[in-house]
Amino acid sequence: MSNADEQTGPTVSVSLGHRVPDLGALELLLAVARLGSLGGAARELGITQPAASSRIRSMERQLGVALVDRSPRGSRLTDAGALVTDWARRIVEAAEAFDVGAQALRVRRDSRLRVAASMTIAEYLLPGWLLALRAQRPDTAVSLHAGNSTVVAERLLSDEADLGFVEGLSVPAGLDSAVIAHDRLIVVTAPGHAWARRRRSLAAEELASTPLILREKGSGTRQVLHAALGGLARPLIELSSTTAVKAAAVSGAGPAVLSELAVGEELAMRRLVPVPVEGVALARDLRAVWPTGHRPTGPARDLLSLTRG
- Looking at beta carbons, which pairs linking 94-98 to residues 24 or more positions away fall under 8 Å? 95/23
Calpha distance 236→51 (Å, rounded): 80
Burial of 52 (0-12, 13-18, 19+ CB in 10 A): buried
Element (H, E) at 179: strand 175-189
- So what's the pLDDT on residue 21? 87
Q: Establish whether domains 23-108 and 112-309 are of one fold.
A: no
Q: Give yes or no for residue 221 having a pLDDT over 80.
A: yes
Which of 203 and 4 is assigned the larger pLDDT? 203
Pick the CATH number of 112-309 from 3.30.1600.10, 1.10.600.10, 1.10.3470.10, 3.40.190.290: 3.40.190.290
* Residue 287 pLDDT greater than 90, yes or no: yes
pLDDT at 179 over 50: yes
Q: Mean pLDDT across the chain, nearest whole number?
A: 86
Strands 256-259, 175-189: parallel, antiparallel or unpaired by DSSP?
antiparallel
Q: Per-residue pLDDT for 70 more than 90? A: no
CB-count exposure of residue 96 (10 Å: 0-12, 13-18, 19+): exposed
Using the CB atoms, write b or e for 197-219: b if 16+ within 10 Å: eeeeebebeebbeeebbbbbebb
3-state secondary structure of 29: helix
CATH of 23-108, one of 3.40.50.11540, 1.10.10.10, 3.40.50.720, 1.10.8.50: 1.10.10.10
pLDDT value for 289 = 96
CA 112 centroid distance within chain? 10
What's the DSSP call for residue 202?
A: B
What is the per-residue pLDDT across 234-267, written as a single tens digit (0 to 9) for each? 889 998 888 899 999 999 999 999 989 889 889 9
Question: How far apart are alpha carbons 240 and 13 in whole angstroms?
Answer: 58
- The domain segmentation of the chain, as residue ranges, is 23-108, 112-309
Is the pLDDT higher at 165 or at 199?
Answer: 165
Q: What was the pLDDT predicted at 110?
A: 62
Look up residue 203 and give its amino acid. A
pLDDT number for residue 3: 44
CA torsion sign for 261, 267, 271, 277 is positive
Tell me the per-residue pLDDT of 4-22, one tens digit each, with 9 for 90 and over: 444 444 333 444 456 788 8
Taking the complete model, does pTM exceed 0.75, yes or no? Answer: no
Q: Per residue in 28-64, pLDDT tens?
A: 999 998 888 888 999 999 999 999 999 999 999 999 9
